[in-house]
A = this chain, B = another copy of it.
Amino acid sequence: MSERTKADIDLGPLPELIGYVLRRAQLVVFQDFFAAFAPFDISPAQFSVLTVIERNPGLTQTQVAAALGIKRTNFVGLLNELEKRTLAERRQVSGDKRSYALYLTSEGAALMRKLRPVLKAHETRMIAKVGEDGRDQLVALLHDIADAGELCEPRNGTGIKRAKASRAPRPGSAET
């Protein structure tokens, strides 16, 4: 029995279950991301938050959390950490004592510039596994899976959907 190797083990229905293979693939991709971003001590979630703040300076905490489908309590912890490292900052919204608008610091903006080639190299490694057309297919299918559900409790006006329609041919893809 102790001689049994991988080829002998029956995983039953697991390798065909969408959730199981999604989780396996996600862990592999995140493992690569963590390794690539380790010198900067930036996690996938932190990178997402910094990206949304960089692209949309002045959004409130609630808006950024909702855009990324991050629970409010988790988001506060994430942001505290980014603020402690002076990568992002909260500024009080005038006329609303309970709302904070989010901005990158100049340090945060400089870090994001440094991370751009790191992200590109990571994504290139992932695309290499499936090819460009495979990537386009995969991303479209994953949006079909993700968009039919809601990550957070839906609240009016704070959820987000991607801008592009799924399954539409990407410019330069084999379908165009």
Give A residues with C-beta under 8 Å from B. 1-2, 4-33, 44, 48, 51-52, 54-56, 58-60, 63, 66-67, 69, 93, 96, 99, 101, 119, 122-123, 126-127, 129-130, 134-135, 137-139, 141-146, 148-151, 157-164
Q: Which of B19, B26, B31, B119 contacts A23 (CB 8 A)?
A: B26
Known pairs A16-B139, A27-B151, A32-B149; A157 contacts B6 (CB<8 A): yes
Known pairs A69-B27, A145-B126; A59 contacts B18 (CB<8 A): no
Complex formed: what's the CA distance from A142 to B135 in Å? 10
What are 20 A-B pairs at a CB distance below 8 A?
Answer: A1-B60, A4-B59, A6-B161, A8-B56, A9-B160, A10-B55, A14-B51, A15-B139, A15-B162, A18-B29, A18-B138, A20-B44, A21-B142, A22-B142, A25-B145, A28-B150, A29-B145, A32-B149, A137-B141, A138-B141
